[in-house]
Copies of this chain bind each other. A is one copy, B any other.
Amino acid sequence: MSYQDYFRKVTPYVPGEQPKEDDIVKLNTNENPYPPSPKVASALKNVGGAQSRKYPDPTAALLRDALAERYGVRSSQVFVGVGSDDVLGMCFLTFFNSERPILFPEVTYSFYPVWAELFRIPYRTVALREGFRIVPEDYLTENGGVVIANPNAPTGIALSVSEIETIVAGNPDSVVIVDEAYVDFGAVSCQCLLNKYPNLAVVQTFSKSRSMAGMRIGYCIAGEPLIAALQNVKYSYNSYTMNEASILAGKAALEDEAYFVECCKRIAETREWARQEFEKLSFVCTDSKANFLFVSHRSVPAKRIFEALRERKIFVRYFAQPHIDNYLRVTIGTRAEMERLFSALRGILAEA
């Protein structure tokens, strides 16, 4: 046996393309079209100076305190990480050590099965119902944990708080992770259930609604025993994950609530307008509450539209996967970017 036989085998996640050319319309990675709050750049003025020689605060207290204040919880209920992928990965590693399979929807964020395989966690995917619907009762079978993205990816469809409650209340012996990466664009957070259910972990991110994908900040809010378990695993893996820039940037973003609300509102408005435009062009859209639409044309295959858009330097996301291979996931950009998209689509459909 060679040392290479002992390499961990994984199915690598394929991130959306990050084309470097100018003059492209990039609607493929669900980034926010607006810059972060100006308070973020101000807060980073002295980063990289003398302070950088020291380790950052391993407890990231500045950031956790700001999150606790914003969400009305105790700091000991907040865990932060290098983007919500880091936080979710730590949640899988920390909470899912049962022999029973964890459950998540068959169509959802593509990292869930990858983390399960990486950490050798048994899992079972649950089929969606017609119209990509998640039915809470489908998650009440024996399991070692449940993960639900709400709104779901890449459909954008949201469950109500009471639907989430059905899943959480029905699984008192499992941790239920609710991944709310896209919740701020029109869905309702289930944080209001935290006091009632100690098995609930709510994960959110600064990458979407706070326009800070580049800074890598995610967090989990949950009861203290869950957060303490996460902290223990994190400290045993890498005590200092949040660099000084991300701690300061995250805190500054939370101090500009008005900016955050305004950006989310604008994106939701553009989404609703874009939905109508898609429908005018004979697309079917799911009822997305996220910063993207999930669309399928009534006659032209999604792959063909994807490629034609790409030739016109407009990038959207296409998944060559069962159930969703005739859909496109289109990030909501600025109104101007969306106008350019629809102009291109009109040309493509006229030729088709």
Q: Are B118 and A233 in contact (CB under 8 A)?
A: yes
Q: Are B83 and A238 in contact (CB under 8 A)?
A: yes
Q: Are B13 and A47 in contact (CB under 8 A)?
A: no
Q: What residues on B are CB-neighbors of A8 within 8 Å?
A: 93-95, 97, 229, 233
Q: Are B52 and A211 in contact (CB under 8 A)?
A: yes
Q: Are B41 and A173 in contact (CB under 8 A)?
A: no
Which of A179-187, A239-247, A300-308, A318-326 lies at the binding interface?
A: A239-247
Q: Are B118 and A18 in contact (CB under 8 A)?
A: no
When the two chains form the complex, which single residue of B1, B3, B53, B89 contacts A35, counting CB atoms closer than 8 Å? B53
Q: How many chain A residues touch B (Cβ–Cβ < 8 Å)?
A: 88
Q: Are A235 and B35 in contact (CB under 8 A)?
A: no
When the two chains form the complex, which single residue of B6, B12, B97, B111 contacts A144, counting CB atoms closer than 8 Å? B6
CB of A101 to closest CB in B, whole Å = 12
CB of A259 to closest CB in B, whole Å = 13
Q: Are B245 and A44 in contact (CB under 8 A)?
A: yes
When the two chains form the complex, which single residue of B83, B173, B213 contacts A53, counting CB atoms closer than 8 Å? B213
CA distance A15 to B115 in the complex (A): 27
When the two chains form the complex, which single residue of B34, B95, B236 contacts A11, counting CB atoms closer than 8 Å? B236
Per-residue contact bits, chain A 1-33, to B (CB 8 Å; 1 contact, 0 not): 111101110111101001000000010010111
Q: What residues on B are CB-neighbors of A235 within 8 Å?
A: 12-13, 15
A131 on the B face (CB < 8 A)? no
CB of A5 to closest CB in B, whole Å = 8
Tell me whether A36 and B52 are in contact in the complex, defined as CB-CB below 8 angstroms, given that A82-B82, A216-B240 are known contacts.
yes
Instruction: Sort A-B residue pairs by CB-CB distance and give the 4 closest, nearest first.
Output: A245-B245, A52-B214, A35-B50, A41-B48
List A residues at the B interface (Cβ < 8 Å).
Answer: 1-4, 6-8, 10-13, 15, 18, 26, 29, 31-36, 40-44, 46-58, 82-83, 85-86, 89, 93-98, 111, 114-115, 117-118, 144-145, 172-175, 199, 207, 211-216, 225, 229, 231-233, 235-246, 249, 252
